[in-house]
Amino acid sequence: MAAVGTRGRVSEDQLKGWMVRGLDGDAAAQNALLSAMVPLLRSFFGRRLRGAGDDVEDLVQEALIAIHTRRASYDRERPFTAWAYAVARYKMIDHFRRTRQHVPFEGLEDILAAEGFADAASAKIDVDAMLGEISPKQAQAIRATKIDGLSVAEAAQAAGISEADVKVSVHRGLKALAARLKGK
């Protein structure tokens, strides 16, 4: 099982060592790594999802699976924990997107007008007009990821294109919109 450092914690060097040996085909090291990550991930998610024990455990499992399946993307020259917590962070973001509650507001226009946002409808029209100035593919990618809140994977699946294509389209579209706003 996992050897622990001071105060019962596993060190970065131990985790990285297990990861590197696991990448080299050492199944025992890979198992030790994943076992050692359980309490670290539980703590990471627990601090951010107070009172959601089932969600924490689900996210721990999702993150462990992602760490295992995406281990080939780990750069051996970089710290392991930074990479592992980035994977966990993305799993948490996906969780928030999946569980986001949409609450309809009846009379939203009246509320916005009373609060000084009478032009809320025209703001939507402005966004639509701005998106109309870039390619339809870029506009669709921006709308899906930045306005509708879909993940890159969800947007790619909906559009029938690759995730990389969605990322590139969003980047180029936002760059084009920024240039137009600056008057270039």
pLDDT digits (tens, 9 = 90+) for 5-51: 444 578 999 999 999 999 999 999 999 999 999 999 999 898 888 76
Q: Report the half-sphere exposure of 154 (CA within 13 A, side-chain side).
A: 13
The pLDDT-based confidence of 2 (bands split at 50, 70, 90) is very low
| Residue with more model confidence, 45 or 128 | 45
Query: Residues near 140 by Cβ (< 8 Å), separated by ≥ 6?
Result: 159, 169
Dist CA 23 CA 18 (whole Å): 8
Answer whether residue 141 shows pLDDT above 80: yes
Tally Cβ neighbours within 10 Å of residue 114: 10
pLDDT at 177: 82
Answer whether residue 125 shows pLDDT above 90: no
Mean pLDDT of the 108-127 span: 53
* 79 in Cβ contact with 86 (< 8 Å): no
Two tokens, residue 111: 């509320």
Structural domains of the chain sorted by starting position, each given as residue range(s) with its CATH number in brackets: 6-99 (1.10.1740.10), 132-181 (1.10.10)
DSSP assignment letter at 119: T
Which of 152, 29, 25, 37 has the alpha carbon at shortest distance from 84? Answer: 37
* 63 in Cβ contact with 40 (< 8 Å): no
pTM above 0.75, yes or no: no
Mean pLDDT of the 130-151 span: 86
